[in-house]
Structure formats: C-alpha cells, structure tokens
C-alpha cells in the first residue's frame, strides 16, 4: 500500500483515511442511524447512556448537553491541547422511569409520563431551533466520531491506549491498554469518547470496522450501519485519499463538504454538506432574499468555508435547473450504493 499518488494529507503513519460525508439537507431526524448503531454496539453493559451516533437539533445544546463548550481539541496553532471537561451523567441524560405500573396495573388515569427527574436528555430540545415565527429555523446534525487526522483524544491518553489504525485511520481504544482515566473523554472536543461505567474503560465509535472488513455472516463488505440504514441515504462513505471517489470530489475539489468546528484543529474526517434553507418570509408570506439560517451561525459550526460552499451549491443548482449538466448535483443525488459506498478501492 502506498499513498505516493495522492496529495491528500492523511495522518503520519497512516496508509489511507476513511471518511464520511453527510448531506444535512437530507436529514429528517428519524434517528434510524442512532438506533442502528445502538442495536449493534451500545445496548447494555455500562453503555446504556452512550450514543456513538446521535442526531441533534441545531441550534441546540446537543448531546451531551453543551458539548461545544466543553473544551478539548487544540490551540489555534495546533501545538497544545486545550483542557476539557468530562460531561456528567445528567449532561448525557439519564434513562427516565415511567409510570407504566400505575397505568397498566393500578388503574391510574394519569397520562403516561416520566416519574421525576426528567429535566434533560438527548434531544430534549429537539425541533426547538432558533428564530421567530415566521422565520424560525432548525436542522438536524447527525454526529459520530470524526476519526480525526490530528486526534486530541489519542494525544490525551497517557498510556497510548487510543490509536489510529494504520490501514484506514480509524481511531480505536485498545481495551487491553485502557485503564479508565478518561483523559480521552475530556480531550475530545466533540465528546465522542465515552466511559463504560461497568467495564470502567472508555469506548467509542469504531466506524463499524468489522463490517468494513467483511466480518459478517455473508463475508461481504458493508459501510457503517448508520450509513446503510439511513432512510434518506444522506451519507457517503469511502476514503479521503481515493481521488476517484465522491468524497474526494466533494471535500477537495468542490469544497462543499466541510468539517464540523474546524477551529478545534483536530482535522475531522466526517464532512457535512451545510444546510440550505429557503429565504426568510415577510409577515405577508412573501419570500425575501435574507438567509433563514443566519450565515454567522453556520460559520461558527463549519468555519468560513461555508460561504463559498453554499455559493457553489447555489450556482450548481441553477445549472441543473437550467438543464445543464452538474457533476456536483449528480454526486449529491445519486442513489447507487456502489458509488455511495466505495470501500474496497485499496484492497490488495
């Protein structure tokens, strides 16, 4: 394996880098990805509170609550780590107890509801968003581990228990090495490393590597479950350094797929097509040429590249609307899984 033909900057010592592009314009917030992931990897055994994949409403506090302000990542010049905090159980959200027994067995007329302490949880602020009627707005943000090129979780571990896989750059926690110190949990600015409260070790999204390796019963290669199970098929999966693949085109050529919070300086390998909302409405219901989703808010999420990305998308939309050919619109629309998931390209 070699990378001599590519000018893509993969991490040192890594042959290739897996990557994912999520088109936020297609997300309907159904949480099928969340459940696909949970069913596979985090159903029990101290993982109950974990969502390696979650979908949160933006603007919103997210999961865990307030993760964007929880520290971690790198300083502006990328030389030093920024101190971070470990979220509390409350910030992740506790499972609630419901009054099932009263209603089912004791004839209570109460509505079904959590008993007490239901004050926060994942998606507590779902669909709340921002803005005022008639110009309220929100969009969904699906999140997994970004399998960063410059991962601060890996650097935070004093035992080198976290590492980037040489063959594809997937970031993993070696369960034999981990001693549950949780420096990775506080060091990840996306809060995508979780502490297993039973095994007392940390765990995270593994990019479904056994599926990538064809470890299932049929021996076939599959994309991560969150991608394959997505009803609107909003995710593209492949390698960043596969120059013939759609991810390379979207990220490197058209520059319309952007990392989340690039200012954390970890160089994520999950990229987002920013949300494209219709213009604001006047009180009379007239559409006006004012961004519904404040551009500044999108810049805070996806960096300054968002302006050009949205301009490019708009330009290509107009082309397609005129009946001209637009490779970008094709890339964002095609429904051929063989193109959407390009995983075997570097197999020997």
Residues 51, 74, 92, 341: which binds another protein (CB under 8 A)? 92
Beta pairing class for 270-273 and 258-259:
antiparallel
Q: Which stretch binds another protein (CB under 8 A): 32-40, 134-142, 194-202, 303-311?
A: 194-202
User: Residue 88, interface with another protein (CB under 8 A)?
Assistant: yes
Listed in sequence order, the residues at least 6 apart from 50 whose beta carbon sits closer than 8 Å to its beta carbon are: 42, 92, 194, 196, 203
User: Residue 186, interface with another protein (CB under 8 A)?
Assistant: yes
User: What's the Cα-to-Cα distance from 97 to each of 1, 74, 75, 344, rounded to whole Å?
Assistant: 52, 39, 42, 45
User: Residue 198, interface with another protein (CB under 8 A)?
Assistant: yes
Cis bond leading into 64, ω under 30°?
Answer: yes
Output the smallest distance, CB 181 to another protein, in A: 4
User: Residue 185, interface with another protein (CB under 8 A)?
Assistant: yes
Beta pairing class for 235-239 and 18-23:
antiparallel
Residue (160 or 282) nearer to another protein, CB: 160
User: Residue 159, interface with another protein (CB under 8 A)?
Assistant: yes
User: Residue 282, interface with another protein (CB under 8 A)?
Assistant: no
Place of tokens 């040429």: 289
User: Residue 272, interface with another protein (CB under 8 A)?
Assistant: no
x/- binding map, residues 54-83, to another protein, per CB under 8 A?
-----------------------------x
Residue (8 or 178) nearer to another protein, CB: 178
Residues 120, 181, 276, 346: which binds another protein (CB under 8 A)? 181
Contact residues: another protein, CB under 8 A = 83, 86-89, 92, 158-160, 179-183, 185-186, 195, 197-198, 200
């Amino acid at each position: 394996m070699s990378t001599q033909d590519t000018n893509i900057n993969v991490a040192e010592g890594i042959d290739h880098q897996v990557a994912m592009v999520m088109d936020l314009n297609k997300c309907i917030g159904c949480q099928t990805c969340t459940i696909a992931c949970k069913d596979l990897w985090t159903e029990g055994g101290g993982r109950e509170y974990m969502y390696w994949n979650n979908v949160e409403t933006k603007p919103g506090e997210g999961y865990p609550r307030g993760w964007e302000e929880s520290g971690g990542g790198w300083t502006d010049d990328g030389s030093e780590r920024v101190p971070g905090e470990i979220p509390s159980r409350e910030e992740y959200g506790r499972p609630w107890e419901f009054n099932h027994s009263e209603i089912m067995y004791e004839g209570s007329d109460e509505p079904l509801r959590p008993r007490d302490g239901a004050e926060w949880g994942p998606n507590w602020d779902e669909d709340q968003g921002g803005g005022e009627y008639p110009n309220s707005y929100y969009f969904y943000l699906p999140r997994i581990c970004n399998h960063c090129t410059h991962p601060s979780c890996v650097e935070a571990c004093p035992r080198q228990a976290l590492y980037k896989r040489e063959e594809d750059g997937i970031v993993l926690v070696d369960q034999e090495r981990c001693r549950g110190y949780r420096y990775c949990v506080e060091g990840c600015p996306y809060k995508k490393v979780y502490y297993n409260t039973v095994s007392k070790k940390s765990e995270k999204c593994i990019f479904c590597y056994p599926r990538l390796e064809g470890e299932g019963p049929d021996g076939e290669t599959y994309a991560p479950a969150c991608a394959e199970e997505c009803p609107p098929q909003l995710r593209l999966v492949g390698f960043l350094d596969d120059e013939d693949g759609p991810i390379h085109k979207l990220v490197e050529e058209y520059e319309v797929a952007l990392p989340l919070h690039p200012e954390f300086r970890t160089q994520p390998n999950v990229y987002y097509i920013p949300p494209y909302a219709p213009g604001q409405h006047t009180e009379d219901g007239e559409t006006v040429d004012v961004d519904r989703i404040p551009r500044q808010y999108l810049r805070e999420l996806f960096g300054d590249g968002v302006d050009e990305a949205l301009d490019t998308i708009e330009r290509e939309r107009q082309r397609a609307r005129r009946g001209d050919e637009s490779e970008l619109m094709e890339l964002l629309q095609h429904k051929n899984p063989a193109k959407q998931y390009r995983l075997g390209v570097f197999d020997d």
